[in-house]
């Protein structure tokens, strides 16, 4: 369910929100299967060729987003969760471009935990307050360029947090072809201490929510498994995009 919002009072920071929904499960990465409420923000500094959430990325969808403050967002999270603390996943677009520090602080006060999924193109000091940081740099098939110094800084901010609390940092890369696989190998070599998760990409256009090519995705996943085993890349974890297999490109699940 998409959250609607009233205008925000003057003088407060606003967060552009595309949708808030759940509880559902996390469909990918290290937290796959974990119950969560999603806060999907609007706006992104990337334009990935295979993006499955363009409604939260492209400026032409801005009229569908809602300017909300921290308390309004958290009130909706609590309503959806029945006031039972659980994981809140901050997604996008790129949620790192939004002022989310206050939401994390408020949620922590009430026992909620927070995960973010971001490509690492915008590093924020408040990454140090997260419980889980999933960095998903985009491989060549995305047609985007990785700014390694920004990814380095994102990891540095989160690593510094370990002096005050435990934070789990993971890398997640969507794989479509051999070039993407080679990119993932490079990322793993660059950050050997960070767990790596690989996922077979969904090549079905987002507008075809009911007609995704499941067999094609599973074939790519099988290829990816065989590729990592043949290379003896035993440090990588290969996972499906569970939400894609269950619900296709539907929104709000």
- CATH number, domain containing residue 82: 3.20.20.70
What mean pLDDT is predicted for residues 193-214?
81
Residue 26 lies in a domain: yes
∠ Cα 110 114 117 (to 5°): 160
Residue 192 lies in a domain: no
- State both tokens at 55: 């409604």
Q: What's the CA gap between 196 and 210, in Å, rounded?
A: 30
SS3 215: helix
Max CA separation in the chain (angstroms):
59
Tell me the per-residue pLDDT of 102-147, one tens digit each, with 9 for 90 and over. Answer: 999 999 999 999 999 999 999 999 999 999 999 999 999 999 999 9
Residue numbering of the annotated binding site for S-adenosyl-L-methionine: 50-52, 93, 136-138
Which residues, including other chains, have CB under 8 Å from residue 112's CB and lie 6 or more apart? 77, 81, 85, 86, 87, 88
Is residue 86 a contact partner of residue 112, using CB atoms and an 8 Å limit?
A: yes
Residue numbering of the annotated binding site for Mg(2+): 53
Q: What's the CA gap between 166 and 193, in Å, rounded?
A: 15
pTM score over 0.85: yes
Total Cβ atoms within 10 A of residue 131:
20
Residue 179 lies in a domain: no
Measuring CA to CA, how many Å separate 68 from each of 10, 11, 64, 174, 178? 12, 12, 13, 31, 42
Residue numbering of the annotated binding site for [4Fe-4S] cluster: 44, 48, 51
Tell me the per-residue pLDDT of 8-52, one tens digit each, with 9 for 90 and over. Answer: 333 368 999 999 999 999 988 999 999 999 999 999 999 999 888
∠ Cα 133 243 120 (to 5°): 25
Residue 239 lies in a domain: no
Structural domain boundaries, residue 169: 15-173
Q: What's the CA gap between 68 and 13, in Å, rounded?
A: 8
Among the listed ranges 11-20, 75-84, 93-102, 183-192, which one has the minimum average pLDDT value?
Answer: 11-20
Give me the chain's average pLDDT, please: 90
Residue numbering of the annotated binding site for substrate: 25-27, 40, 91
Give the full edge-to-edge strand order of the sheet including 132-135.
66-68, 15-25, 35-41, 87-91, 113-118, 132-135, 168-175, 196-200, 236-239
Residue 204 lies in a domain: no
Residue 142 lies in a domain: yes
Residue 185 lies in a domain: no
Residue 46 lies in a domain: yes
Q: What's the CA gap between 70 and 12, in Å, rounded?
A: 9
Instruction: Count how many domains the chain has.
Output: 1
Residue numbering of the annotated binding site: 25-27, 40, 44, 48, 50-53, 91, 93, 136-138
Is residue 23 a contact partner of residue 35, using CB atoms and an 8 Å limit?
A: yes
């Amino acid at each position: 369910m998409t959250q609607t919002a009233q205008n925000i009072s003057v003088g407060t920071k606003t967060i552009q929100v595309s949708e808030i929904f759940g509880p559902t499960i996390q469909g990918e990465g290290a937290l796959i299967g974990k119950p969560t409420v999603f806060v999907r923000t609007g706006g992104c500094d990337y334009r990935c060729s295979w993006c499955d959430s363009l409604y939260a990325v492209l400026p032409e969808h801005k009229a569908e987003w809602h300017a909300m403050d921290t308390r309004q967002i958290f009130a909706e999270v609590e309503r959806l969760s029945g006031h039972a603390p659980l994981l809140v996943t901050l997604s996008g677009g790129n949620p790192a471009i939004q002022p989310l520090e206050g939401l994390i602080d408020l949620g922590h006060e009430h026992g909620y935990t927070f995960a973010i999924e971001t490509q690492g193109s915008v590093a924020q000091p408040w990454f140090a307050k997260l419980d889980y940081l999933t960095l998903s740099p985009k491989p060549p098939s995305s047609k985007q360029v990785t700014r390694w110094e920004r990814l380095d800084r994102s990891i540095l901010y989160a690593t510094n947090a370990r002096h005050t609390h435990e934070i789990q940092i993971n890398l997640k890369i969507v794989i479509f072809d051999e070039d993407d696989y080679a990119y993932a190998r490079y990322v793993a070599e660059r950050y050997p201490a960070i767990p790596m998760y690989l996922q077979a990409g969904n090549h079905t256009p987002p507008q075809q929510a009911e007609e995704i090519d499941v067999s094609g995705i599973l074939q790519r996943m099988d290829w990816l498994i065989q590729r990592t085993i043949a290379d003896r890349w035993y440090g990588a974890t290969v996972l499906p995009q569970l939400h894609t297999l269950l619900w296709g490109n539907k929104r709000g699940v």
